[in-house]
Amino acid sequence: MDKTTNNDEYSQPSSVDPVETESTVGPVLFYNELVIEHFTNPCNVGEMSPKEANGFALVGDPACGDEMKLWIKVESDRIVDIRFKSFGCPGAIATSSMATKLAKGKTLHEAVELTDDDVIRELGGIPEEKKHCSLLGITALQKAINDYYMRKMMESADSDDLS
């Protein structure tokens, strides 16, 4: 049968999200162009000095050897800058890049609500066996936000002790 016919088995509306249709067209088996782009040219790569960053996290997945350092700079409860360095597979680097891209500019409340599913959706899907990689960036982001809040509490406690 010709794939250009209007048979539901072959045609999909062009406005359908590819991640939502994953179950109807089968699992993602390979990295798509966007994932490859985020792997070869990741966003927000680099480090921040301790004076620049007011939140930091170091996370890893011992099962596959992936590791990530993530720094955030927060002003007025908004992530104004975010940087990461990652050692890992293409899936880990690409999903970490996307996680930082999604978090930058968001309020802390908005950023802490991001999930690995948000990252996967924005990338247009990743292979099933690589979905655990998407947790690396989100976990690091949440830990860096927690670190920011802990530092803020410590500063507040220190200033209270001086009063």
Annotated catalytic residues are 64, 133
Write the Ramachandran bin of 58: left for phi over 0, alpha for psi from -120 to 50, otherwise beta.
beta
Using CA atoms, how far apart are residues 39 and 36, in angstroms rounded to an integer? Answer: 5
